[in-house]
Amino acid sequence: MFIQDDLQQRWWNLEAKLAERFGKKPDMEAILFLIGMQEKGFITDKISKEQKQDLMHVAVCTVLSASGFYVLEGKDEEGWPHFKQIKELPASNLPEQENFLKDHVLLYFEQYGF
């Protein structure tokens, strides 16, 4: 339970920092969207629903690549990163999946000194 509490506290700290920076408390989708934009270098006024989903996919692949689940294969002509899954994700229930992803998102932000 202590590990769970530590993860939750670190997550709340990240949310607080992001809320301070952007003026609104982000949910997981918003955080993944931000990571995707960072990784793509995507700055535009209009983002389609499909592009938003693609950015969130880039974010998930990026954060999980730190643990060897994905590897960056390269970028296409438009600068979109493409990943290859190299190992299976652990089988888990929804709360465990969310915590697994939270832990990787936290690692991503720690690596960038945020």
Tokens of 20: 């301070």
pTM for the structure as a whole = 0.87
What tens digit of pLDDT does each residue of 72-98 get?
999 999 889 999 999 999 999 999 999
DSSP, residue by residue, 44-83: -S---HHHHHHHHHHHHHHHHHTTTSEEEEEE-TT--EEE
Q: Which amino acid type is present at position 9?
A: Q
CA–CA separation, 85 and 70 (whole Å): 4
Mean pLDDT (whole number) for 104-110: 96
